[in-house]
A = this chain, B = another copy of it.
Amino acid sequence: MSKVVCFGEIMLRLAPAGYLRFEQAQSFDAVYGGGEANVAVSLANFGVDALFVTKVPDNPVGQAAINEMRRYGVDTAYMVRGGERIGIYFLEKGASQRPSKVVYDRKYSSVSQAQSRDFDWKKICAGADWFHFTGITPALGDHVAEAVLDACKAAKKAGLTVSCDLNFRKNLWTSEKAGEVMTRFMPYVDVCIANEEDAEKVFGIKAGSTDITGGKLSHDGYKDVARQLSDRFGFKAVAITLRSSISASDNNWAAMLYKGGEYYFSRNYAVHIVDRVGGGDSFGGGLIYALRAGLSNQEALEFAVAASCLKHSIEGDHNHVTVNEVKTLMAGDGSGRVQR
């Protein structure tokens, strides 16, 4: 069976227990995550051979991050050891009207200072059919952005499908810088994933009439964004996640897919949130699985949305669900009845 290659950062996430605020915490729960790492674990949990490429420091905490990926069956053979530190982010879980809060301490991380020559992209892409990255990785630094570009080129050369989740992070770079750098990667991208803000923040592509904080989403607006993205960069598919936040405890979750000139909208899920972080990544993981597995466009979208719906009920960044669990939900059983 062929493989999916994901390249990016894996961070140590430190979160106070339960709903404690940072000021109150006397211990942190420790998990590991990051945009592309989360996709890799999603895929491994679906039974896909997923290869995660990154750089971590050569110390026990870096090793623990690698171990965590291995635990869930991700192939870490091409992880590179070196650099100064593992990126860290502190997460305070929100509830009701109090939003979750993320404090990043990811600067100077090993991967952010990685160089393209750290990775043998030709060897990495051998035997793979898909390459995935997000807009976070090139935002980490100029050298790692070069590495992403080289990876894209090698992937294309080796015949891989390339997917990119735009994932704009305003505390890593400006819209201007993001637009400039990301534009260089787009010629290699086949499948573009975005949330309701990314297209505007990265490429200045605006939807007519959406009001996000108000939680109202216009189908027409999203169609418009998807088509503009596709027209400008020639993507084979554009997927947009549609989150409407009622509160930190309750969200509505859906998505659309633009492919082959057609627009597909998923059903909507009212989710009661356990852990919202990694929700978008789990959509990406679901979509890659579904497209590779040959599901129809509507089914692929529904799979990705159902998979990421379930993620919201799972602690940590990763989506620990199986294909069967997703299909059960797709089939309409979201009743949560006990399974004995």
Closest 8 pairs (CB-CB, A-B): A248-B336, A71-B71, A22-B60, A245-B335, A98-B313, A97-B334, A95-B313, A96-B313
Cβ of A18: which chain B residues have Cβ within 8 Å of it?
18, 315
Stretch at the interface among A23-31, A198-206, A230-238, A254-262: A23-31
Cβ of A246: which chain B residues have Cβ within 8 Å of it?
335-336
The minimal Cβ–Cβ distance linking A58 to chain B, given in whole angstroms, is 10
Copies in the complex: 6
Assuming A25-B30, A64-B23, is B85 touching A336 (CB within 8 A)? no
Question: Is A180 an interface residue when CB atoms closer than 8 A count as contact?
Answer: no
The minimal Cβ–Cβ distance linking A234 to chain B, given in whole angstroms, is 30
Cβ of A97: which chain B residues have Cβ within 8 Å of it?
269, 271, 306, 309-310, 313, 329, 334, 336
Greatest chain B CB density within 10 A among A18, A64, A306 is at: A64
Q: A75-94 CB contact bits vs B (8 Å, 1 = yes)?
A: 00000000011101010101
Cβ of A68: which chain B residues have Cβ within 8 Å of it?
71
Assuming A272-B96, A313-B248, A320-B21, is B102 touching A340 (CB within 8 A)? yes
The minimal Cβ–Cβ distance linking A7 to chain B, given in whole angstroms, is 21
Q: Which residues of A from 184 to 221 have beta carbons under 8 Å from B?
A: 213, 215
Question: Is A276 an interface residue when CB atoms closer than 8 A count as contact?
Answer: yes
The closest CB in chain B to the CB of A73 belongs to B70
Give 20 pairs: A residue, B residue, CB < 8 Å, sorted on A: A14-B30, A17-B27, A19-B274, A21-B314, A21-B320, A23-B320, A25-B64, A28-B28, A67-B72, A70-B73, A84-B107, A95-B272, A96-B274, A96-B312, A97-B271, A97-B329, A97-B334, A99-B339, A102-B340, A245-B335
The reply to whether B315 and A99 contact each other, CB–CB distance below 8 Å, is no
Q: A243-256 CB contact bits vs B (8 Å, 1 = yes)?
A: 00111111000000
The minimal Cβ–Cβ distance linking A217 to chain B, given in whole angstroms, is 13
The reply to whether B27 and A27 contact each other, CB–CB distance below 8 Å, is yes
Cβ of A107: which chain B residues have Cβ within 8 Å of it?
84-85, 108
The reply to whether B30 and A60 contact each other, CB–CB distance below 8 Å, is no
Question: Is A59 an interface residue when CB atoms closer than 8 A count as contact?
Answer: yes
The reply to whether B96 and A19 contact each other, CB–CB distance below 8 Å, is no
The minimal Cβ–Cβ distance linking A210 to chain B, given in whole angstroms, is 14
Separation of A219 and B215 alpha carbons in the complex (Å)? 29
The minimal Cβ–Cβ distance linking A231 to chain B, given in whole angstroms, is 29
Question: Is A277 an interface residue when CB atoms closer than 8 A count as contact?
Answer: yes
Question: Is A337 an interface residue when CB atoms closer than 8 A count as contact?
Answer: yes
The minimal Cβ–Cβ distance linking A245 to chain B, given in whole angstroms, is 4
Question: Is A295 an interface residue when CB atoms closer than 8 A count as contact?
Answer: no
The reply to whether B245 and A337 contact each other, CB–CB distance below 8 Å, is yes
Assuming A312-B96, A336-B100, is B272 touching A249 (CB within 8 A)? yes
Assuming A67-B71, A73-B70, A213-B335, is B59 touching A103 (CB within 8 A)? yes
The reply to whether A98 and B336 contact each other, CB–CB distance below 8 Å, is yes
The reply to whether B60 and A90 contact each other, CB–CB distance below 8 Å, is yes
Cβ of A28: which chain B residues have Cβ within 8 Å of it?
14, 27-28, 30
Q: A9-42 CB contact bits vs B (8 Å, 1 = yes)?
A: 0000010011111111111111100000000000
Partner of A335, one of B92, B247, B270, B320: B247
The minimal Cβ–Cβ distance linking A15 to chain B, given in whole angstroms, is 9
